């Protein structure tokens, strides 16, 4: 059932498939939730724009001074709306996590965040310029007057500074120079920025309190964002930590800097976790215990224990090798859409590179498929991770395996050296001829995973059946 591919090579012929029950339907529910979430976003933006117009927004555009102020009001409203939606997107709301998955939510969060920030800057500039009667020379004095006399503006300036720091450290060039732990800590200042903006909006924002409908909308949105953070980011993780009492039982060196940590706890058969998902974990041992890191499950949950596997790429993952049995664990999750709920078809393809094979190892064990119904493309530079375990799955479950050894052959290819002149699409179709009729799970470094996704799409697989989880800084 296993083939090592130095060039496109056939895998052992699939075993005749057994009859499976109807394909999963949770992906349809998730698709509906994605549609409703998108409609809700646009509806909120249209609603605040309507209220802006009802307050004379378009009429005010006729004059220079009033037009500047009107543009400032609209940009402020849209920025505030998107800022709160951004908070909701990353509040770990279960229906959003399940419908979008962490990678997709993070990308949307990034786009919404930058748009909200740009609108906030536009709001500050145009409002100040408008209050200065459109005279550039009066802008500094007007800005100082607003800071010292307008209600809540000084607080909002502090919030703006916090948000500027978050935005600057979110630029890819800056992120590459930061450790994950440092970036995550700095990113928490976004909550401070959002909180400091509230007094200004309520004290001086006529659009927020001009009618009962507007008051209910804005207070409701603020309350929803606050409640989501308190319940899903604080309350639920604390409750699950106390209920399940995860504890380290052993640590295994998998080689090449990769470490697996085995956990046990209470009532693990009731923890709603699926193969392919990950936990955000704090190990309560030594320096750095306050910083959380995401770790994928590398084995299907069995109701008695969990296995997390990671490579020593940062401070948190490097600490894993030094953990002692009995170490207590604080965790959030499970998270991630790289799981059975995303699946629409019985046949699947699993494509992973390096330590990105970790969640795919759990999926290969946990998914329901007939012999020959799952094919794994395993990219690695030196030695394959979990090679023996994959061999057992190939023998017992009919998992088809294509090993792709060697370093990546170029920036535009996700295949390894030694593949000759064959292009990525031809190779993929050779190994998995029916890839367009499968659900495809991809995990690996971000640039590599993006290259795989492009190839899978070129092979005819619909985008909603390509499930990607990437990592990298």
- H, E, C per residue of the chain: CEEECCCCCCCCCCCCCCCCCCCCCHHHHHHHHHHHHHHHHHHHHHHHHHHHHHCCHHHHCCCHHHHHHHHHHHHHHHHHHHHHHHHHHCCCCHHHHHHHCHHHHHHHHHHHHHHHHHHHHHHHHHHHHHHCCCCHHHHHHHHHHHHHHCCCHHHHHHHHHHHHHHHHHHCHHHHCCCCHHHHHHHHCHHHHHHHHHHHHHHHHCHHHHCCHHHHHHHHHHHHHHHHHHHHHHHHHHHHHHHHHCCEEEEEEEEECCEEEEEEECCCHHHCCCCCCCEEEEEECCCCCCCCCEEEEECCCCCCCEEEEEEECCCHHHHHHHHCCCCCEEEEEEEECCCCHHHCCCCCEEEEEEHHHHHHHHHHHHHCCCCCCCEEEEEEECCCCCCHHHHHHHHHHHCCEEEEEECCECCCCCCCECCCCCCCHHHHHHHHCCCHHHCEEEEEEEHHHHHHHHHHHHHCCCCHHHEEEEEECC
Higher-scoring residue by pLDDT: 18, 307: 307
10-34 average pLDDT score: 57
Lowest mean pLDDT among 2-16, 365-379, 415-429, 444-458: 2-16
pLDDT for 31 equals: 87
Maximum average pLDDT range among 21-25, 214-218, 337-341, 347-351: 347-351
pLDDT for 80 equals: 87
80-109 average pLDDT score: 87
Token readout for 33 is: 């939730």
Counted residue by residue, the chain has a size of 473
138-150 average pLDDT score: 70
Q: Give dist(CA 188, CA 162) in Å, integer.
A: 9
47, exposed or middle or buried, with CB in 10 Å at 0-12, 13-18, 19+?
middle
pLDDT for 104 equals: 86
Q: Which residue has the tokens 């479950």?
A: 397
What does the mean pLDDT of the chain come to?
83
In this predicted structure, the answer to whether residue 15 has a pLDDT above a threshold of 50 is: no
Whether the link from the prior residue into 180 is cis, omega within 30° of 0, is: no
Higher-scoring residue by pLDDT: 148, 38: 38
Lowest mean pLDDT among 33-37, 157-161, 350-354: 157-161
Give 153's Cβ-side CA count (13 Å radius): 16
Higher-scoring residue by pLDDT: 57, 249: 249
Kindly indicate the confidence band of residue 377, based on its pLDDT and cuts at 50, 70 and 90: very high
In this predicted structure, the answer to whether residue 293 has a pLDDT above a threshold of 70 is: yes
Kindly indicate the confidence band of residue 9, based on its pLDDT and cuts at 50, 70 and 90: very low
- Cα distances (angstroms) measured from residue 228 to each of 97, 186, 235, 342: 13, 20, 10, 24
Lowest mean pLDDT among 120-124, 159-163, 337-341: 159-163
Contact 442, 449 (CB under 8 A): yes
pLDDT for 17 equals: 41
Torsion over CA: 355, 357, 362, 363 (sign)? positive
Beta bridge partners of 342: none
pLDDT per position as a tens digit, 208-230:
667 788 888 988 988 998 899 99
Kindly indicate the confidence band of residue 6, based on its pLDDT and cuts at 50, 70 and 90: very low
Contact 307, 264 (CB under 8 A): no
233-239 average pLDDT score: 94
pLDDT for 228 equals: 92
Percent residues over pLDDT 70 in the chain = 80
pLDDT for 188 equals: 65
Kindly indicate the confidence band of residue 179, based on its pLDDT and cuts at 50, 70 and 90: low
76-95 average pLDDT score: 89
Higher-scoring residue by pLDDT: 148, 352: 352
Q: What is the pTM of this model?
A: 0.82
Give 156's Cβ-side CA count (13 Å radius): 24
In this predicted structure, the answer to whether residue 287 has a pLDDT above a threshold of 60 is: yes
In this predicted structure, the answer to whether residue 126 has a pLDDT above a threshold of 60 is: yes
pLDDT for 158 equals: 66
Maximum average pLDDT range among 65-74, 86-95, 348-357: 348-357
Kindly indicate the confidence band of residue 322, based on its pLDDT and cuts at 50, 70 and 90: confident
In this predicted structure, the answer to whether residue 131 has a pLDDT above a threshold of 50 is: yes
pLDDT for 266 equals: 94
pLDDT for 231 equals: 94
Contact 109, 37 (CB under 8 A): no
Contact 407, 435 (CB under 8 A): no
Contact 326, 248 (CB under 8 A): yes
In this predicted structure, the answer to whether residue 447 has a pLDDT above a threshold of 80 is: yes
Lowest mean pLDDT among 35-44, 73-82, 139-148: 139-148
23-41 average pLDDT score: 84
Q: Give dist(CA 196, CA 336) in Å, integer.
A: 31
In this predicted structure, the answer to whether residue 5 has a pLDDT above a threshold of 70 is: no
Contact 374, 400 (CB under 8 A): yes
21: CB partners within 8 A, 6+ apart: none
pLDDT for 125 equals: 86
Q: Give dist(CA 74, CA 426) in Å, integer.
A: 51
Lowest mean pLDDT among 161-165, 181-185, 450-454: 181-185
């Amino acid at each position: 059932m296993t083939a090592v591919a130095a060039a496109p090579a056939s895998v052992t012929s699939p075993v005749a498939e057994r009859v499976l029950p109807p394909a999963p339907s949770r992906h349809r529910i998730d698709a509906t939730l994605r549609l409703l979430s998108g409609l809700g976003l646009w509806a909120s933006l249209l609603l605040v724009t309507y209220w802006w117009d009802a307050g004379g927004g378009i009429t005010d555009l006729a004059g220079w001074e009033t037009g500047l102020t009107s543009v400032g009001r609209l940009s402020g409203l849209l920025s505030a709306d998107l800022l709160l939606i951004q908070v909701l997107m990353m509040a770990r709301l279960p229906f959003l996590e399940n419908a979008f998955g962490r990678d997709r939510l993070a990308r949307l969060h990034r786009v919404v965040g930058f748009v909200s920030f740009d609108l906030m800057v536009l709001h500050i500039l145009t409002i100040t310029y408008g209050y200065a009667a459109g005279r550039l020379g009066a802008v500094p004095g007007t800005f100082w007057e607003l800071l010292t006399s307008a209600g809540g503006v000084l607080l909002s300036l502090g919030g703006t500074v916090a948000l500027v720091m978050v935005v600057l450290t979110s630029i890819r060039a800056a992120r590459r120079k930061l450790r994950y732990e440092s970036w995550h800590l700095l990113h928490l200042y976004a909550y401070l920025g959002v909180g400091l903006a509230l007094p200004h909006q309520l004290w001086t924002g006529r659009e927020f309190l001009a009618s009962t409908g507007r008051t209910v909308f804005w207070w409701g949105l603020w309350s929803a964002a606050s409640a989501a953070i308190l319940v899903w980011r604080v309350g639920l993780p604390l409750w699950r930590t106390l209920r399940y009492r995860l504890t380290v039982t052993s640590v295994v060196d998998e080689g090449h800097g990769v470490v697996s940590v085995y956990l046990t706890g209470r009532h693990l058969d009731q923890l709603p976790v699926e193969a392919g998902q990950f936990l955000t974990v704090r190990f309560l041992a030594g320096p750095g215990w306050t910083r959380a890191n995401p770790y994928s499950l590398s084995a299907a949950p069995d109701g008695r224990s969990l296995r997390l596997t990671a490579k020593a790429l940062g401070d948190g993952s490097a600490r894993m090798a030094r953990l002692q049995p009995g170490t207590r664990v604080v965790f959030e999750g499970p998270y991630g859409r790289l799981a059975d709920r995303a699946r629409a078809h019985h046949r699947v393809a699993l494509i992973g590179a390096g330590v990105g094979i970790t969640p795919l190892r759990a999926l290969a064990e946990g998914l329901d498929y007939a012999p020959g119904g799952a094919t794994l493309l395993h990219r690695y530079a030196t030695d394959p991770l979990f090679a023996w375990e994959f061999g057992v799955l190939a023998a017992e479950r009919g998992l088809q395996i294509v090993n792709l050894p060697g370093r990546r052959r170029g920036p535009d290819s996700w295949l390894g050296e030694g593949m000759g002149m064959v292009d990525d699409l031809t190779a993929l179709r050779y190994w998995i001829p029916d890839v367009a009729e499968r659900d495809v799970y991809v995990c690996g470094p971000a640039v590599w995973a993006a290259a795989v996704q492009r190839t899978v799409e070129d092979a005819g697989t619909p985008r909603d059946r390509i499930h990607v989880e990437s990592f990298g800084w």
